[in-house]
């Protein structure tokens, strides 16, 4: 395992340069998330431009000390900051630079402290900080970072991992804090941008620079249950006004005083900078007045006034084009985070649950009620959940159909058969048929000593189920899996997908896949992190 | 009154059919860096895909100039009284716009109607072929236009992909982006809806995706014409074409290549089936 004890300004530069490239790949996706504070749809772009400016400035300083490079990045970020999130990002850099001041090199502990300072500074520029945004993400990530640094103060990678992990969780939770996100069924765009930057930095520190070229950042999925309703499309009570931004260059400007003066002129006000460079961002109905106040204090630069009502319309248009219209929602019960990702990526809403953690009828009902469409298909993906799911239809006015999928692979096969062009009934019957096109192997452990047919099973031994029938027993999951595989005529199939559980290291799953590929060269073997507990492996054979 | 049929090169009509039915094809351009090639003229489809795989810069496509259209119209007008031009869907290319504007400029000399087929590849191709056949048989301008409009409702392409990366990069993905970002490896099959690329099915392997193209033809009661196209996998497409010939004996089946311009947006692995016919009720 790679370990970084201390780092200097050069590392800082390279790391965030890589993180900026990483962010760049995600810009369009982040722009599409944007719903807060007004849907101006360019958060990703703004954050990228801010980061670019920061990185450019970092490469301009000849000094390699952490202090000099972080100062330069803070300056570059302020000069290049655009939009709400960009300005907050520039504040984050400012705080980070403050935390790293007078340091040639920094340890994980130094970084965690500086990151906490960054979090505090981010809050300071705002007249009215809102939770469920980038602010929450950095605060929670920074707090976790400091905790992690207490134990792993000598390892930057471990501390960064803790920060990224916390940022991801915090981000997934943003819709629970901010109703506008919950309605749109997305996470906060600025938070996503920050998470992507941090994640890119972590990947680079881990030495994954090469792989990063070929991969793309993922957008974090909302942990809140999907939207109860979409925001009304054509009702527009309050005009959004103009997003007004500029940089004031002058002498001895009092940022606090300026913020106070501008406060009553609009929404989403941010005033940041030092006393000679101040960046202003405000959503106002009267940009003229705001500019007037600015010009009294110094010269104005990078002035930008954009009509947000226009942007809002473009945004709605963009949202409309994003996905095919379907009046059917699919809700899948998922036993693991990786499997949830699979279902999400195929267009389903997810209710967590599985073996020994069956969701209640209420859990599923809640999900059914919270999706927009009136027609809902439920994939229980576990034989113990089929009945629970079956209760839902009597408790809701919505038209609900349960496809009795007994395993995750059956659920995946069913959702793949979904056709945007077909109606509810046709889809339900196609999905029902499709679920039987796949065979499932599940590897788990015996919970008690028993005997079943010819099989003598001791407690905690590995057992293998083929289409939910117990058919093999052994001492290791791999051994059992191979036994079950031998019972199937694999030559007759095309695709094998292995979802490995939370206790299985990726390397072990990869090794298994390599062995299978050698044994069955005609099969397409794919491994996917399932993240499920109790089941070491869930295997789909099609 | 002689009616002549023209189309852009994105309908993928096989060269012998073009010649036979006297269709005039206006080549769309492919740009590699700053070098421009006329689709199917300066660059064969095979050469294009070779270049696509080996080139460092990604190619783009470009509609020919207004002047080029005018030149073509004037040349065809020498031998025709009336011209009907079939184009690719305006939602995927600017061809229809340019072709229409050019038609405005020469309409005094010759009656020209530009029709947006709302289709692509052989969807556009089969419509054009049927129109040219009618023109050759001496049908009137009005009747040919009616036939085209009728066939626009009866033509359906299905395209099987290994990846949607090229489509996404070219910005032509439309609603099919619902199929992007899948954690599992899937082979998407796409169709056309209202002139746009639209998701149809997700299969877990290439073999299944091709099977889905074959099965899709079962949804028709009466099939008038079929087309099978590939980009760089002729063997697979031939096998599929042979199976379809057995399934639909006596129905004309056109075997062609996805043009370079479309290749820019779909990538080298695409394989497509188009049906002109009536759906089962």
Residue of B nearest to A416 (CA): B202
**From A338, A341, A416, residue closest to B202, measured CB to CB:** A416
Rounded to an integer, the average pLDDT of B58-84 is 86
> Residue A94's pLDDT is what?
93
Please state whether A374 falls in left (phi above 0), alpha (psi between -120 and 50) or beta.
Answer: alpha
Residue-wise over B59-69: b if at least 16 C-beta within 10 A, else e? bbbebbeeebb
> What pLDDT does A228 receive?
31
Residue A37 has pLDDT above 80, yes or no: no
**A436 interface with B at CB cutoff 8 Å:** no
Contacts of A419 in chain B (CB under 8 A): 200-201
Contact yes or no for A494 and B208 at CB 8 A: yes
Give residue-wise pLDDT tens across range A479-534. Answer: 999 999 999 998 889 999 999 999 999 999 999 999 989 988 889 999 999 999 99
Q: Minimal CA–CA distance to A540: which of A359, A454, A415? A: A415
Say which DSSP state A126 is in. B
Residue B128 or residue B232, greater confidence: B128
Rounded distance, CA A243 to CA B196, Å?
A: 34
Total Cβ atoms within 10 A of residue A45: 20
**Chain B within 8 Å of A526 (Cβ-Cβ)?**
yes
Please name the fold of domain A324-435.
Rossmann fold (3.40.50)
Q: In the predicted model, what is the mean pLDDT of chain A?
A: 87
Task: Name the residue among A419, A524, A542 with its Cβ closest to that of B201.
Answer: A419
Instruction: Say yes or no to pLDDT of A226 above 50.
Output: no
Query: What pLDDT sits at residue A232?
Result: 31
Q: Which two tokens stand for residue B96?
A: 């229809």
How far B147 CA lies from chain A's nearest CA (Å)? 26
Please indicate if any CB of chain A lies within 8 Å of the CB of B177.
yes
Fold of A242-314: Alpha-Beta Plaits (3.30.70)
Q: For residue A229, what pLDDT band results from cuts at 50, 70 and 90? A: very low
Q: What is the pLDDT of residue B169?
A: 66
Q: What pLDDT score does A238 carry? A: 57
What are the tens digits of pLDDT across the range A120-129?
Answer: 999 987 777 8
Q: Please give the model's pTM, rounded to 2 decimal places.
A: 0.62
Distance of alpha carbon A77 from alpha carbon A110, whole angstroms = 21
Is the bond into A427 cis (omega within 30 degrees of 0)? no
How many Cβ atoms from other residues are within 10 Å of residue B109's Cβ?
A: 11
- Which residue intervals of B58-120 are DSSP H helices? 66-77, 95-106
Average pLDDT over residues A369-390: 90
A351, A402 Cβ separation under 8 angstroms: no
pLDDT category at B34 given cuts 50, 70, 90 is low
Which sequence spans correspond to the domains of chain B? Answer: 3-152, 155-279
Answer whether A497 sits within 8 Å of B184, measured CB to CB.
Answer: yes
Architecture of domain B3-152: 3-Layer(aba) Sandwich (3.40)
Distance CA B84, CA B145 (A): 8
Going by pLDDT thresholds of 50, 70 and 90, the confidence category of residue A213 is confident
Q: Which pLDDT does position B65 carry in this prediction?
A: 80
Q: Answer yes or no: do B185 and A322 touch at CB < 8 A.
A: no
pLDDT given for residue B266 in this prediction: 85
Contact A486, A520 (CB under 8 A): no
- pLDDT for residue A21 is more than 50: yes
Q: Is B194 on the interface with A (CB under 8 A)?
A: no
Identify the pLDDT of residue A235.
34
Q: Choosing among B165, B174, B180, B199, which should be mutated to test the A contact, i.e. which has the most A CBs within 10 A? A: B199
Place of tokens 């600025």: A190
* Minimal CA separation from B6 to chain A, in Å: 32
Closest CA–CA distance from residue B57 to any residue of chain A (Å): 17
Query: Is the pLDDT reported for residue B139 higher than 90?
Result: yes
Q: Which residues lie below 8 Å from residue B192, measured CB to CB, with a gap of 6+?
A: B89, B118, B119, B120, B123, B156, B157, B198
Say what the pLDDT of residue A462 is. Answer: 93
Residue A1's pLDDT is 59
**Residue B198, Cβ density class (10 Å: 0-12 exposed, 13-18 middle, ≥19 buried):** middle
Task: Name the band, by pLDDT with cuts 50, 70 and 90, for residue A353.
Answer: confident
Give strand pairing partners of B256.
Answer: B229
Interface confidence: ipTM more than 0.95: no
Average pLDDT (A441-461) is: 87
Are domains A6-212 and A439-541 of this chain identical in fold? no
Residues from chain A that touch B279, judged by Cβ atoms under 8 A, are none
Q: Do B204 and A494 count as a contact with CB atoms less than 8 A apart?
A: yes
CATH of domain A6-212: 1.25.40.340
Selected for mutation to probe chain B from A216, A416, A426, A528 (highest B CB count within 10 Å) is A416
Given a contact cutoff of 8 angstroms between Cβ atoms, the answer to whether A22 and A43 are in contact is no
User: Distance between CA B34 and CA A275 in Å, rounded?
Assistant: 49
pLDDT at A345: 84
Domain map of chain A by residue range? 6-212, 242-314, 324-435, 439-541
Tell me whether residues A324 and B198 touch, CB distance under 8 A.
Answer: yes
CA distance readout (Å), A302 to A58, A80, A248, A334, B248:
21, 9, 9, 49, 66
Which residues in chain A are closer than 8 Å to B205, comparing Cβ atoms?
A: 494-495, 524, 542
Query: Alpha-carbon distance A124 to A270, whole Å?
Result: 9
Chain A: residue nearest B202 by CA? A416
CATH number at B155-279: 3.30.1180.10
pLDDT at A230: 31
Residues of chain A with C-beta less than 8 angstroms from the C-beta of B183: 338, 341-342, 345-346, 528
- A397 exposure class (CB count in 10 Å sphere: 0-12, 13-18, 19+): exposed
Q: Say whether domain A439-541 belongs to CATH 3.30.1180.
A: yes
| pLDDT single digits (tens) A237-296 | 456 788 888 999 988 888 889 998 998 888 878 888 887 888 898 888 899 999 999 998
When mean pLDDT is compared across A40-49, A152-161, A420-429, the lowest value belongs to A40-49
């Amino acid at each position: 395992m790679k370990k970084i004890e201390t780092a200097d300004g050069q590392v800082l530069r390279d790391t965030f340069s890589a993180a900026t490239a990483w962010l760049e790949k995600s810009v369009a996706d982040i722009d599409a998330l944007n719903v807060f504070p007004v849907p101006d749809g360019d958060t990703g772009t703004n954050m990228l431009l801010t980061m670019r400016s920061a990185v450019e400035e970092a490469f301009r300083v000849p000094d390699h000390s952490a202090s000099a490079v972080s100062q330069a990045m803070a300056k570059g970020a302020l000069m290049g900051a655009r939009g709400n999130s960009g300005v907050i990002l520039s504040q984050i850099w400012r705080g980070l630079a403050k935390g790293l001041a007078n340091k040639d090199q920094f340890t994980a502990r130094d970084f965690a402290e500086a990151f906490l300072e960054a979090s505090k500074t981010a809050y300071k520029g705002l007249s009215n900080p809102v939770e469920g945004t980038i602010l929450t993400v950095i605060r929670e990530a920074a707090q976790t970072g400091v905790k992690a640094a207490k134990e792993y103060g000598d390892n930057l990678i471990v501390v960064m991992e803790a920060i990224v992990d916390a940022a991801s969780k915090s981000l997934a939770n943003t819709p629970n804090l901010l109703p506008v996100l919950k309605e749109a069924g997305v996470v906060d765009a600025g938070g996503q941008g920050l998470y992507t930057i941090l994640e890119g930095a972590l990947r680079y520190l881990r030495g994954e620079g090469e792989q990063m070229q070929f991969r793309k950042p993922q957008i974090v999925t909302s942990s809140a249950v999907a939207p109860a309703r979409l925001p009304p499309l054509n009702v527009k009570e309050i005009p959004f006004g103009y997003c007004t931004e500029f940089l004031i260059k002058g002498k001895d400007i009092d940022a606090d005083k300026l913020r106070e003066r501008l406060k009553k002129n609009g929404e989403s006000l941010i005033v940041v900078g030092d006393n000679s460079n101040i960046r202003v961002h405000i959503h106002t109905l009267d940009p003229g007045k705001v500019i007037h106040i600015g010009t009294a204090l110094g010269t104005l630069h990078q002035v930008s006034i954009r009509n947000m009502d226009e942007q809002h319309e473009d945004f709605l248009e963009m949202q409309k084009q994003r996905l095919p219209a379907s009046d059917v929602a699919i809700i899948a019960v998922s036993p693991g985070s990786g499997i949830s990702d699979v279902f999400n990526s195929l267009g389903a809403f997810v209710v967590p649950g599985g073996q020994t953690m069956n969701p209640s009828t209420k859990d599923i009902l809640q999900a059914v009620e919270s999706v927009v469409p009136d027609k809902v298909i439920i994939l229980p993906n576990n034989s113990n959940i089929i009945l629970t799911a079956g209760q839902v239809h009597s408790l809701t006015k919505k038209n609900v159909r349960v496809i009795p999928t007994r395993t995750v692979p059956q659920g995946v096969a069913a959702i793949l058969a979904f056709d945007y062009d077909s109606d509810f009934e046709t889809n339900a019957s196609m999905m029902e048929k499709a679920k039987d096109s796949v065979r499932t192997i599940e590897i788990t452990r015996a919970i008690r000593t028993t005997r079943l047919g010819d099989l003598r099973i001791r407690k905690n031994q590995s057992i293998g189920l083929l289409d939910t029938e117990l058919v093999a027993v052994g001492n290791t999951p791999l051994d059992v899996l191979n036994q079950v595989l031998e019972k199937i005529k694999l030559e007759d199939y095309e695709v094998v997908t292995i979802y490995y559980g939370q206790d299985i290291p990726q390397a072990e799953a990869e090794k298994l896949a390599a062995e299978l590929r050698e044994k069955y060269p005609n099969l397409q073997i794919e491994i996917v992190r399932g993240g499920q507990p109790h089941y070491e492996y869930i295997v789909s054979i099609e | 009154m002689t009616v002549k049929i023209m189309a852009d090169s994105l309908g993928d009509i096989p060269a012998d059919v073009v010649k036979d039915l006297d269709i005039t094809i206006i080549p769309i351009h492919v740009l590699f860096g700053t070098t421009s090639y006329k689709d199917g003229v300066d660059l064969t489809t095979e050469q294009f895909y070779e270049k696509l795989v080996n080139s460092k810069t990604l190619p783009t496509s470009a509609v020919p100039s207004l002047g080029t259209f005018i030149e073509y119209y004037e040349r065809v007008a020498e031998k025709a009284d009336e011209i009907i031009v079939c184009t690719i869907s305006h939602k995927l290319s600017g061809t229809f716009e340019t072709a229409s504007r050019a038609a405005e400029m020469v309409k005094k000399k010759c009656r020209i109607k530009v029709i947006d087929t709302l289709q692509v590849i052989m969807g556009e191709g089969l419509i054009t072929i049927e129109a040219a056949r009618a023109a050759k048989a001496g049908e009137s301008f009005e009747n040919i236009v009616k036939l085209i409009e009728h066939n626009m409702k009866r033509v359906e392409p299905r395209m099987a992909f290994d990846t949607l990366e090229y489509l996404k990069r070219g910005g032509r993905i439309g609603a099919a982006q619902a199929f992007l970002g899948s954690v599992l490896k899937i082979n998407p099959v796409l169709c056309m809806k209202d002139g746009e690329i639209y998701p149809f099915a997700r299969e877990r392997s290439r073999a299944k995706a091709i099977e889905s193209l074959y099965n899709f033809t079962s949804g028709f009661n009466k099939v008038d014409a079929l087309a099978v196209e590939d980009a760089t996998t002729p063997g697979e497409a031939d096998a599929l074409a042979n199976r379809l010939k057995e399934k639909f004996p006596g129905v004309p089946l056109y075997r062609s290549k996805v043009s370079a311009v479309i290749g820019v947006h779909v990538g080298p692995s695409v394989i497509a089936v188009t049906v002109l016919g009536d759906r089962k009720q």
